[in-house]
Amino acid sequence: MSSQLHRLVRTRAIGLVLGAFVVSASAWAQEVPAASLNAAAVQSKNGAESPPPAPSWDQRLRRIASDFMGTRYRLGGSSQDTGLDCSGLIKQIWQRLGLADLPHQAANMAKLGVPVQLRDIQVGDLVFFNTTGKQNSHVGVYIGDGRFVHASSVLKKVTENSLSESYYQKTFNGIRRLAGFDSANDAPALSE
């Protein structure tokens, strides 16, 4: 076989292999979800993947509050291991968020921050109730969609309820926003 014919055969063979590769790559691209391609595109110049975006303030507070769900109720309790009362729960959530140390009594927490109207409530606002015949005897934290998390002495555990439930409407005392919480977008930098 002449060298010219040998080059022609080799060139055509390479062309066939490249053509098959292009067809395979095209078929693969149609089968791979766009999210996978987008994730690959997030790589930096040195090939390392960029970290996922940090969770928002709302997401962090909800996640931390949900970590306490089902924790047993204990009057005066301040530990997830041995039990929590309502103010002990709020103290623990604030500590896990890396925020200020709060007093361990709902009535004392009700003296902090600024009052907020129900129409202006935001995630992270404290909600207060009169459940014992004393003003601000119970506290929970608002998590959005009309719901709050609290340590219930009736259910004997940390639970989630709606502000629209008749019991909580009847016993509702108000809302307080602690210093630095002017809006969900203005929430302080948090550490875990």
Specify the DSSP class assigned to residue 133. Answer: S
**Length of the chain (residues):** 192
Give residue limits of the domains in the chain: 3-41, 57-186
Whole-number pLDDT of residue 57:
76
Q: Which of 61, 65, 86, 97 is labelled catalytic?
A: 86
Whole-number pLDDT of residue 189:
42
- Known active-site residue 150: yes
Q: What is the pLDDT along the chain (192 residues), one digit of tens a residue?
A: 445 444 444 444 444 444 443 344 444 344 444 444 344 444 445 556 767 777 787 899 999 999 999 999 999 999 999 999 999 999 999 999 888 889 999 999 999 999 999 999 999 999 999 999 999 999 999 999 999 999 999 999 999 999 999 999 999 999 999 865 544 444 544 333
Q: Which of 150, 152, 163, 168 is labelled catalytic?
A: 150
pTM score of the predicted model: 0.68
- The top-level CATH class assigned to 57-186 is alpha beta
Whole-number pLDDT of residue 99:
86
Q: Which of 60, 96, 138, 177 is labelled catalytic?
A: 138
How many beta carbons lie within 10 A of that of residue 1, not counting itself? 7
- Known active-site residue 138: yes
Q: Name which of 130, 134, 137 is nearest 86 in CA terms.
A: 137
